[in-house]
Structure 1
Amino acid sequence: MQKPSIPKGTRDFGPAQVARRQHIFNVIRRTFESFGYAPLETPTLENLSVLTGKYGDEGDQLLFKVLNSGDFAKDVTAADLETGSKALLPKVAEKGLRYDLTVPFARYVAMNRGTLTFPFKRYQMQPVWRADRPQRGRYREFYQCDADVVGTDSLLCEAEIVLMMAQVLNGLGLDDFTIKINHRAILDDIHQAVGGVVGQEGSLYVAIDKLDKIGRDGVTQELLARGFSKSAIDRLFELLSVKGTYLEKIHALSEHIRLSIGTDYTGYTDLREVYDILQASGFKQFDRLEFDPTLARGLSYYTGCIFEVKINNVQMGSVSGGGRYDNLTGSFGLPGVSGVGFSFGVDRLYDCLEALDLFTSTAETPTRCLLTHFDAASGRAALPLLAELRAAGIPSELYPDASKLQKQFKYADAKGIPLVIIMGPEEAAAGVVKIKIMQTGVERVLPVGEVVAALTVE
């Protein structure tokens, strides 16, 4: 018999884990809706023509491709096999699993442009798939919770992203975090300042984005391999090493760039305006906001402000990220519609909360009351009360078998059911029940007709 297993990078979630994940989803959902975002869902499968070319070369390699149904190899020739995967892929796979939620959202906006009210704000909470190497905090199947707005250039949207990030993290009890922000125009200025050749921008961004993973030496070796000179790399790290507060670092870097190439200061003025909007909005956690010129975000569709969130007291990658994309819907035939958004990785948030022991005790079941019984007659007598409890919105269940009371208590304790209602022959004859609080062992007696009202008040 074959031992059952699941694919690497995927996981099962038991009842207690799902309850904890639902807590994260609920905090995020409440936050998104409080800022006026409406829910949306898109299909698991997208046409590969929608997905490819949106995430850069490295992202395209991580797409899960889905073989065509039926005889998927019927059009494949010997010449295709000799040519390699680029010739073979279009003939065997037309669809893929979604890599993120932003590109499908842009596709949705383009397809439904005539029915949407702009600016259009949506949130989306669904799984995505990436053919990455599984490791702690990095999975092949994981949930993202996105919030995006399209149809406006206003930097109010960027400021509200910061506010939503902070509100979610505070709501989850994560108080030691850093919200990092940068701007693609600033990265363009840095590329020019180090003497980068036109067309090399993507190589620079990808290398800088790995700085916290492979360090200065690793980035240096990668840039040397991509054709950057040693002097250009030294100048790069000089620009990236500016110190100070959010505003001080922006000023210092803009001065460095001005002396090197001159600039229109688009990126710097945008980041200052975001700061001003946050200040006017009553934002109190500027010590958690950092201008980080090393932040590059690897996805190629970003064009303006970019964001990332780190939980500082856990060894974990970013738990959230995003940015502005001015050209994404244009690739689907809807040019001139700017958008900005961000995403929370639920799985990484879960791992952080677990590492910091921030989850409260979570039961394996939403059941609040377990009704016990001793025989078929007492079980039947408990059914009307069970129906009343459920009708009143109190999750309840009746133990299915006539077993010893100790076994039924053990069941309630194992599942984390807080209350046990005992209705034995004596209680039934007197028209009362015994309610036992499992955590303390305290018992009280109530008339059957008063149980629902008493538990509803509690």
Structure 2
Amino acid sequence: MASPVNPPRGMRDFLPADKARREHALGVIREVYRAHGFDEIETPVVEDYARLHAGLGGDNEKLSFSILKRGIRPEQLRGAVEAGDPEQLADLGLRFDLTVPLTRFYASHRAELPPVFRAIQIAPVWRAERPQKGRYRQFVQADIDIIGEPGLLAEIELITATSQALAALGLEGCVIRVNDRRILFGLLAHCGFAPDQHDRALITVDKLDKIGAAGVVDELRGIDEAAALRMGEVLAAAEPALESGGGIPLTREAIAAVLPAGAAESGIESLAELGSALEGGLPEGVTVRFDPTLVRGMGYYTGTIFEVAHPGSGSSVGGGGRYDGMIGRFLGQDVPAVGFSIGFERVVDLIELPEDDGPDAIALVYDRDAAFEDLAALKRELVARGHRVRLEKRQKNMKALLERVAAQGFGRVANVRAGERDADALDLRELAAV
């Protein structure tokens, strides 16, 4: 049993320096996204149980945390267990991503929003993951979504804005892998998988990074032997281009060269148009490449899908795609939508951020006999001038005190004697020189 002084397993506390670093990174992301015309919204951390388990969240639905109904009686608990029906016990749950809440938000507020709505959501989500490096049960997602734009302009805006956010954070070497669900379904049909086998087959193809091509083919044999062998041929044909240093360019010729003839022409044309629009528009250090094996396991994707890879991370550091049919589940009519999410926890561990505050942060070290009203007046005056101010009582080990406030981002220090309350008379010294 975990010690009661520790946070719950798979969740974390953040010390002030860590929290400041995270907020700085989130501020960089917000600034870039707002510059691209997106507006931030906020939704509740809980949603209706039925909405979270509507079959659109893929495996994440199995990882959702449910909230018990109030006033459950023992006989109700026994009945739910015997019936194998957890919905008898829970009516709410913690959100496992920000897309499901956004679709509910849009359905609720559509009349108050512009025809094409560009949303920012930066907030924590919860999944009952098995805790391990890079995976936590509570983590922050940074999402942008465009609702109401049916054309490729939405994908272009999202990829451009996200790539610039990653560049602004100093994350170099990012590769945005792109595919289209129409291409995936076209490949499955070409290989001979029946339409009712497509979802199962995609779940297996999505394991390519974990079990390799041979493992994928072996698992697909359980669905259709002949189709599995043809899928193995497709994977073998694409493998050299995928493993080359440059990847597969997002051009019609390069995409068609690794796909069977006649497979998903509409998807190929769409990706080629996307690649042409993005050419020369991405910041240095970010490239975009076609990956015919990219699946993304969320069941709500309908068209373009994308994922951000980085050599410093064993998993993706971002991803998203088009989900045109999802809002219709709540609104009663289809509305085009596409989104891109930055995996903040993975990104923040990969970047170096500048120290915050610097010389504008001042530590006032006061004598024990200094009057509280004088200290309050000094602090009030310095804060009004735009400084961050910390009051610290003088102690015997001044070296330890100064090292601590320096580590917390304070760049200057001043001693405050009894009777001092004139901010202009303070002897401010650089902490590095003390």
Pairwise same-fold verdict (TM > 0.5): yes
Establish whether residue 288 from structure 1 lines up as the match of residue 269 from structure 2.
no
1:60-117 CA distances to partner (integer Å, 9 max, x unpaired)? 2112111111225543555x5344x3xx212111111101101110111111222221
2:81: which partner in 1? 81
Structure 1 residues 209, 45: closer, same or farther in 2, change over 3 A? same
Establish whether residue 163 from structure 1 lines up as the match of residue 156 from structure 2.
no
Q: 2:398 aligns with which of 392, 406, 412?
A: 406
SS in 2 for 1:420: strand
Q: 1-side partners of 2:62 and 2:71: how far apart?
A: 25
1:303: which partner in 2? 302
Residue 307 of structure 1 aligns with an amino acid whose one-letter code is: F
Residue 29 of structure 2 aligns with an amino acid whose one-letter code is: I
SS in 2 for 1:257: coil
Runs (4+) off by over 6 Å: 425-431
Q: 2-side partners of 1:104 and 1:287: how far apart?
A: 30
Contact kept, 8 Å, 1:190 with 1:257, in 2: the verdict is no
Higher mean alpha-carbon deviation, 201-210 vs 296-305, is at 201-210
1:213-240 CA distances to partner (integer Å, 9 max, x unpaired)? 2322332333223444442332341454
Q: 2-side partners of 1:293 and 1:165: how far apart?
A: 22
Structure 1 residues 381, 60: closer, same or farther in 2, change over 3 A? closer
Q: 2-side partners of 1:181 and 1:61: how far apart?
A: 26
1:125-274, aligned counterparts within 5 Å? 125-229=122-226, 230-238=228-236, 240-241=238-239, 243=241, 244-247=248-251, 248-253=253-258, 256-258=260-262, 263=264, 265-274=265-274
Q: Which runs of 5+ in 2 are unaligned?
A: 242-247
Establish whether residue 393 from structure 1 lines up as the match of residue 386 from structure 2.
yes
Q: 2-side partners of 1:146 and 1:128: how far apart?
A: 12
Establish whether residue 440 from structure 1 lines up as the match of residue 430 from structure 2.
no
SS in 2 for 1:157: helix
Q: 2-side partners of 1:405 and 1:223: how far apart?
A: 68
Structure 2 length-normalised TM: 0.89
Q: 2-side partners of 1:285 and 1:224: how far apart?
A: 43
Q: Which runs of 5+ in 1 are unaligned?
A: 442-458
Identity %: 33
Contact kept, 8 Å, 2:361 with 2:387, in 1: the verdict is yes
Higher mean alpha-carbon deviation, 181-190 vs 226-235, is at 226-235
Contact kept, 8 Å, 1:311 with 1:352, in 2: the verdict is no
2:44: which partner in 1? 43
Structure 1 residues 33, 426: closer, same or farther in 2, change over 3 A? closer
Question: How many residues are aligned here?
Answer: 424
Higher mean alpha-carbon deviation, 405-414 vs 245-254, is at 405-414
Q: 1-side partners of 2:6 and 2:73: how far apart?
A: 26
Contact kept, 8 Å, 1:54 with 1:299, in 2: the verdict is no
1:269-348, aligned counterparts within 5 Å? 269-279=269-279, 282-283=281-282, 288-312=287-311, 314-348=312-346
Residue 182 of structure 2 aligns with an amino acid whose one-letter code is: A
Structure 1 residues 181, 411: closer, same or farther in 2, change over 3 A? closer
Establish whether residue 370 from structure 1 lines up as the match of residue 363 from structure 2.
yes
Q: Shift in Å at residue 249 of structure 1?
A: 2.6
Q: 1-side partners of 2:81 and 2:23: how far apart?
A: 46
Q: Based on CA coordinates, which of the two structures has the bigger radius of gyration?
A: 1
Contact kept, 8 Å, 1:126 with 1:143, in 2: the verdict is yes
1:110: which partner in 2? 107
Contact kept, 8 Å, 2:25 with 2:353, in 1: the verdict is no
Contact kept, 8 Å, 2:377 with 2:421, in 1: the verdict is no
Q: 1-side partners of 2:113 and 2:422: how far apart?
A: 63
Structure 1 residues 228, 43: closer, same or farther in 2, change over 3 A? farther
Structure 1 residues 340, 382: closer, same or farther in 2, change over 3 A? same
Higher mean alpha-carbon deviation, 210-219 vs 171-180, is at 210-219
Q: Shift in Å at residue 380 of structure 1?
A: 4.8
